[in-house]
Amino acid sequence: MKRTLLFIFAILGTSVFAQEHFSGINTSRRVGLLNAEINPAQLTSLKGKYEVNIFNFSVNVANNKMTFGDLVGGNDNFEEMLFAGSEPLNMRADVEILGPAFAFRYEKWAFAISSSAKIKASLVDVNTTLGNAVTNGGVENVSEVYEILASENQRATGTSWGEIGLSIAREVYDTEEHRISVGATFKLLFPGTYANMGASEFEGTIENNFGDVRLTDANAEVNFAYSGSLAGDFSETGNFTEFFAGGLNGFSTDIGVNYQWKAIDSTRYKLNAGLAIRNLGSMTFKDDNNESTNYSLDVPAGSYLDLNQFEDAESIQDVEDILLASGYLTMEQASKDFKVKLPAILSGYADVNIYGNWYATAYIQQRMNEDNDNDQIAVQNIISITPRYSTGFFEAYTPLADNEISGFTAGIGVRLGGFFIGSGSALSAMLGDTNQADAYMGFRVGF
Instruction: Evaluate if residue 179 carries a pLDDT over 90.
Output: yes
Mean pLDDT on 78-87? 76
| Distance (Å) of CA 365 to CA 63, 262, 272, 347, 422 | 17, 25, 17, 4, 20
Q: Where are the domains of the chain?
A: 2-446
pLDDT given for residue 421 in this prediction: 95
What DSSP assignment string belongs to 344-397?
-EEEEEEEEEEETTEEEEEEEEEESS-TTSTTB-----EEEEEEEEE-SSEEEE
User: Are residues 378 and 158 in contact, defined by beta-carbon separation less than 8 angstroms?
Assistant: no
- What is the tens place of the pLDDT at every residue in 296-345? 999 999 999 998 888 777 778 888 889 999 999 999 888 889 999 999 99
Burial of 383 (0-12, 13-18, 19+ CB in 10 A): middle
- pTM here? 0.87
Spell 285-324 as b/e; 16+ CB within 10 A means b: bebeebbbbbbebebeeeebbebebbeebbbbbbbbebbe
Contacts of 350 (CB under 8 A, 6+ apart): 271, 272, 273, 361, 362
What whole-number distance in Å separates Cα of residue 189 and Cα of residue 180? 29
CA 427 and chain centroid, separation: 21
Burial of 447 (0-12, 13-18, 19+ CB in 10 A): exposed
- What is the tens place of the pLDDT at every residue in 242-282? 777 778 999 999 999 999 999 877 668 999 999 999 999 99
| Distance (Å) of CA 114 to CA 130, 199, 375 | 43, 37, 26
Secondary structure E strands in 134-211: 143-150, 154-174, 178-209
What whole-number distance in Å separates Cα of residue 65 and Cα of residue 82? 5
2-446: which CATH architecture?
A: Beta Barrel (2.40)
- What is the tens place of the pLDDT at every residue in 24-74? 899 998 898 999 999 999 999 998 899 999 989 998 878 888 776 666 555
What DSSP assignment string belongs to 92-143?
EEEEEEE--EEEEEETTEEEEEEEEEEEEEEEEEE-HHHHHHHHH-S-TT-E
Do β-strands 436-446 and 419-423 pair in parallel, antiparallel, or remain unpaired? antiparallel
